[in-house]
Amino acid sequence: MRLNSAGGATPQVEISLSDRRAILKNVLAALQKRFYSPEKLDADWEAAVDRYRPMIEGANTAAEFEQSMSNLLAQLHTSHVGIFHGSARRASSRAALSATYLADETPFGKRWVFQDVHSGGAASLVDIEPGDILLSVRGREITPPEHPVFPMGEQSDVTIVGKDDRPRTVNLTVSRPKGKKLHFVEPTLVEARQLGTGLGYLKVAMFPGMVGVEVANEISLAVENLGAVNRLIIDLRGNTGGGIGALRVMSIITSGKTPVGFALDRRRVPANLETEKHGFDRFSRIPSSKKALWPLALQFAPAMMTKRPVVLQTEGLGSKPFHGNIALLVDRHTASAAEMIVAFARENNLAAIIGEKTAGRLLSATSVKVGHGFRLALPTGAYYTWKGWVLEGSSIIPDELVEFDWRRRRAGIDDQLERAVELIRSQPTARAS
């Protein structure tokens, strides 16, 4: 059997029947050793393994093998799990295009409709806009539930229908990934502008990097450049998360050093977690320069080696004029570290939350080698807010539920943003937190 990444630009890989059996065995062993929720590996999971084993071992093509493995892993009903080949240079549309979409009925049948399109991404650069309907990719019609994928480092013809209701084909160039493991293309990370006297708008597309020094610096500079605003809307729609850079947003919306939460392997949950958590090490400062990362690594090395949890804590940046008058914009694609911000704001009553229910995907994850060039991505720890909320599988319901209406959005009407502006302007200027 031969495995090719999309576009055929990477080396071919032979995997025999014995290889397929070995990969499956290694996947199962890795899950038993590291999966964040061992109780999910129960009798139902074992039955699923028995059910999918013949399809995995009998796969006639690389696509069938990968799909069968993915179908098995889907039975765990959790985020951050999947299998991929290390030579693959393809990405989902969300990563490749810096855009999100939803499935809905359209004049062309059930289709993917673009929802969030981040500035600077591949979709934005060819003028794809929210509300545009996806018809085909590289000459092939795509309909839900199949998700489009794109070869990295290549061009792809994509046919869409815009607000003029006429199909058009655009030529997207999807950059190669910066790393071997994370296949994404960075959009413009931070945007800020004033929406009128005293009202600031801050949009953060994602939080790349483990510590996120660069994005944290961009966020701080953007807020500083807004000037003396006394109301602030923070747009996290389409923000699918990332790393610790999200702590800077949480530090901006409150003045002091407030504990946020921590990731914890469920195999190591102590019986008296509420007491022991006060003794966990605390991470409460994103350095301004990458030169400080080595000392930071040394500081937290003992906790990392023993897998002892580290509590995220806000940085104590002081009072801001807009404290007490903050709105967070969220949607169904707001996930991971971005959801961490939303949960922190909810637990500490720091902002009004407006938009759609969030994704409910917040786990710490890694990837491990499982043989013959394949890697298994798997969650290794659940995230706990400081007050004990586990967000995985539990969407955050906004204070003001405003669904995305793609027909109105393609007409230039952003109902969610307009409601946030209306709500925040109706509130009196409040004290700083």
In sequence order, the 6+-apart residues with CB closer than 8 A to the CB of 356 are 330, 331, 332, 398, 401, 402, 403, 404, 416
Tokens for 46, please give them: 């074992």
Reading the chain (433 residues) residue by residue, the pLDDT tens digits are: 433 333 333 345 568 899 999 999 999 999 998 888 888 899 999 999 999 999 999 988 777 888 899 999 999 988 788 888 766 555 566 777 899 999 999 999 999 999 999 999 999 999 999 999 999 999 999 999 888 878 777 888 999 999 999 999 999 887 765 554 444 567 899 999 999 889 999 999 999 888 889 999 999 999 999 998 999 999 999 998 888 999 999 999 999 999 999 988 766 667 788 888 998 999 999 998 888 777 877 777 776 666 778 899 999 999 999 999 999 999 999 999 999 999 999 999 999 999 999 998 877 778 899 988 888 988 887 888 999 888 777 899 999 999 999 999 999 999 999 999 999 999 876 544 4
Report the C-alpha gap between 129 and 126 in whole angstroms: 9
Report the C-alpha gap between 260 and 311 in whole angstroms: 7
CA distances from 416 to 46, 85, 204, 331, 404 (A): 44, 39, 16, 9, 7
H, E, C per residue of 77-101: CCCCCEEEECCCCEEEHHHHHCEEE
Backbone angles phi, psi at 222, to 5 degrees: -65, -45
CATH code for 90-174? Answer: 2.30.42.10
Tokens for 331, please give them: 């949607």
- The pLDDT assigned to 7 comes to 37
Report the C-alpha gap between 94 and 97 in whole angstroms: 6
Amino acid 412 reads G
- The pLDDT assigned to 184 comes to 53
Backbone angles phi, psi at 259, to 5 degrees: -65, 140
Q: What is the pTM of this model?
A: 0.86
Report the C-alpha gap between 350 and 16 in whole angstroms: 56
Q: Where are the domains of the chain?
A: 2-85, 90-174, 190-360+395-426
Bond prior to 145 in cis (omega within 30° of 0)? yes
**How would you class 109 by CB atoms within 10 Å of its CB: exposed for 0-12, middle for 13-18, buried for 19 or more?**
exposed
- The pLDDT assigned to 305 comes to 67
- ∠ Cα 179 183 189 (to 5°): 90
Where on the phi/psi map is residue 174: left (φ > 0), alpha (ψ -120 to 50), or beta? beta
- The pLDDT assigned to 222 comes to 98
Domain 190-360+395-426 of CATH type 3.90.226.10: yes
Q: Are 129 and 163 in contact (CB under 8 A)?
A: yes
- ∠ Cα 426 430 431 (to 5°): 175
Where on the phi/psi map is residue 371: left (φ > 0), alpha (ψ -120 to 50), or beta? left
